Amino acid sequence: MSTFLTILFMVVVGALIGGATNHIAIKMLFRPHNPVYLWGKRLPFTPGLIPRRRDELAKQLGKTVVNYLLTPETFRSKFFNATMKGKASKWLNDKTQEVVFSQDKTLQQWLDQAGLSHAPQVIEEKVDLLIQQQIGNFQNVLATQTVEQLLPESWKAKADIKIPEISRYILNKGDGYFESPEGVQTIKGLIDGFLTSKGTFGGMVQMFIGDGTSLIPMFQREIKKFLTSDQTFAMLNNMIDKEWRKIQVQTIPQLVGELDFESTTLRVQKYAKEQLAIRDRLDLPLVHYLPDGAKWLEENAFPKLIDTAFDQGEKKLEDVLKRMDLETVVKEQVDKFPVETLEDLVLGISKREFKMITVLGFVLGGIIGLLQGFVAILL
Please state the separation of Cα 111 from the chain's center in Å.
Answer: 14
Q: Residues 42-72: pLDDT tens digits? A: 766 666 666 666 677 777 777 877 787 778 8
Average pLDDT of the chain is: 81
Q: What is the model's pTM? A: 0.52
- Could you say which DSSP state residue 214 is in? G
Cβ distance 23 to 365 under 8 Å?
no
Confidence bin at 127 (pLDDT 50/70/90): very high
Contact between residue 333 and residue 112 where contact means Cβ atoms under 8 Å apart: no
Distance (Å, whole) CA 105 – CA 352: 58
pLDDT for the residue numbered 128: 93
Directed axis angle between helix 216-228 and helix 181-197, to 10°?
A: 110
| Comparison of pLDDT for 192 and 271, the residue scoring more | 271
CB-CB neighbours of 134 under 10 Å: 12
Q: Where are the beta strands (DSSP E) in the chain?
A: 37-38, 41-42
Count CB atoms within 10 A of the CB of residue 149: 11
Q: Which among 47, 21, 42 has a CA at the least distance from the CA of 32?
A: 47
Contact residues for 343 (Cβ-Cβ < 8 A; gap 6+): 30, 50
> Which of 38-47, 74-83, 123-132 has the lowest average pLDDT?
38-47
Mean pLDDT, residues 221-238 = 89
Over the stretch 142-160, which tens digit does the pLDDT of each residue have?
888 888 888 888 888 888 8
Asked whether 362 and 18 are in contact (CB, 8 A), the reply is yes
What does residue 198 show for φ and ψ, rounded to 5 degrees? -95, 5
Q: How many other C-beta atoms are found inside a 10 Å radius of the C-beta of residue 170?
A: 15
As a whole-number percent, the residues of the chain with pLDDT over 90 amount to 12
How confident is the model at residue 270, as a pLDDT?
93
- Residues 299-303: what's their mean pLDDT? 90
Q: What is the DSSP string of 6-25?
A: HHHHHHHHHHHHHHHHHHHH
CA–CA distance from 181 to each of 176, 177, 178, 185 (Å)? 10, 8, 8, 6
Question: Which are the contacts of 137, defined by CB distance < 8 A and separation ≥ 6?
Answer: none
3-class DSSP state of 232? helix
Q: How confident is the model at residue 132 (pLDDT cuts 50, 70, 90)?
A: very high
Closest C-alpha to 240, from 321, 158, 168, 342: 168
Cβ–Cβ < 8 Å for 167, 240: yes
Cβ contacts of 128-136, under 8 Å, gap ≥ 24: 128/269, 128/273, 131/265, 131/268, 131/269, 131/272, 132/265, 132/269, 135/261, 135/264, 135/265, 135/268, 136/261
pLDDT of 193: 66
